[in-house]
């Protein structure tokens, strides 16, 4: 992964392109894994919600009315 840095304290600005450091790569991978886990969790919740509504035989709007 390439990182571009622009330093505006110099005239003209200094532009540097470098590879991501091992720490940055590790963080990027952790963020990506967390995002995948988050998406899986959201999908699991959505599936569980749909299954529950199906068992109850009501729609999401009707469920919202019950909870409202």
Partner 1 sequence: MATTTTNFGWDIPQSTDLVKDGATAIAALGQDIDTALVGLKGGTTGQILSKTSGTDLAYTWITNDVGDITAVTAGTGISGGGTSGAVTITNSMATAITTSGDTLYGTGSGTFSRLGIGSTGQVLTVAAGIPSWATPSSTTPGLNLISPSSIAFSGTSASTSAGKTVFSACTSLSLNGVFSSTYDNYLIIVAPFTQSTDVMNFMRLRASGSDTTSGYNNAGWYQSAGSAWNTNPDVTDAYYHQQPGTSQGSSVINLQNPNLSFATLMNNQRAKVGQGSGNVSSQSGTTQFDGLTIYQASGNFTGTIRVYGIKN
CB 19 within 8 A of CB 1: yes
Q: Does 6 bind partner 1 (CB under 8 A)?
A: yes
Classify residue 58 by its DSSP letter. Answer: -
Residues 32, 37, 38, 40, CA torsion sign: positive
The continuous run of DSSP H or E covering 18 comes out as strand 14-19
Residues within window 9-48 making contact with partner 1, judged by CB under 8 A: 9, 20, 27-28, 31-32, 34-36, 38-39, 41
- By C-beta, is 41 or 51 nearer to partner 1? 41
Q: Does 7 bind partner 1 (CB under 8 A)?
A: yes
CB of 7 to partner 1, least distance (A): 5
């Amino acid at each position: 992964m390439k990182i571009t840095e622009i330093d505006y304290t110099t005239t003209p600005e200094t532009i540097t392109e470098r590879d991501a450091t091992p720490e940055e790569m590790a963080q990027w991978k952790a963020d990506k894994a967390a995002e995948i886990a988050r998406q899986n969790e959201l999908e699991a919740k959505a599936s569980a919600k749909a299954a529950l509504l199906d068992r109850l035989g009501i729609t999401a709007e009707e469920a919202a009315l019950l909870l409202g």
